[in-house]
Structure 1
Amino acid sequence: MREPTSYVGAIDLTAREEAILDRITLDLVTDTDGFEVYSLKAKLIPLLMDLLQKRNAIPKQRLDYFDDPQFRSGRIKGAHRNLFERNGTVGVEIYQHPHFLKYLRYFLFGADLPPDVLDRFKSLVIRHSPSAAATSKTFRTWQRTL
């Protein structure tokens, strides 16, 4: 079982994973190298994902956000992964697609929330188990104040 705080914020990376991540551009907006260079760097993403998945480093809730249709709201049905597949991107090609970067960032660093919100959420998760926090009246009440 994971420590409750591992559900919030960045996951721990091994030295090898950090070295691979250092060579990947996570933000295409600031990448001035062009698509050809991105394509070369993107070939490292499946390797990083494989390493992370082999040691179960990504919290299940984060993977479910990508893989489980119930975690996706909106007009188009299916999981986020299914959207890639419907557009003809399958297998490891999904990890190399530029639109996958936002999911990779989420897998690695968690939700992009203000630090005070993360701190308050982290303290709530510590007080309650992750499964109980999702259903507790305290959690729902706190969530509505955001």
Structure 2
Amino acid sequence: METGQRLPEILGKDQDGKQWTLTDVKGRKLVLYIYPRDSTPGCTNEACNLRDNYERFMAEGYTVIGVSTQDEKSHKKFIEKNSLPFPLICDTEKKLVIALGVYGEKKMYGKVTMGVFRTTFIADENGIVTRIIGPKEIKVKEHAAQILGD
């Protein structure tokens, strides 16, 4: 996925089993943030930073949706524990993360594993990607400011 391209129409099902599509958010800008795992320190910091700035996102015409490869049960627990006001898509089959190009080999502590690359896609009102914030750029405790251009 690159800037100028349209996000996939089907985003996936959230923690409540609701299917999300680009049509659902048409007319609003979209923050589609992809994160590795529920309830890990970095992912919790990122989600809470977005939560703490959620009203501002809404006021500026954004819909915020998180995506990881965990299931509904894991997402529900993460949402409840951190009072997250936005949906989390359960990409357990890795369809979306593969389509977006944010799943692959990761090296951590000298070990190679397969996983999700923390990435945020910002799209316009028609689902066209206007900006991508990659894994090396994201500051989990300041992510809202990075997105909103503070």
Work out which of the two has the higher radius of gyration on C-alpha atoms and give 1 or 2: 1
Shared fold by TM > 0.5?
no
TM range (shorter): under 0.3
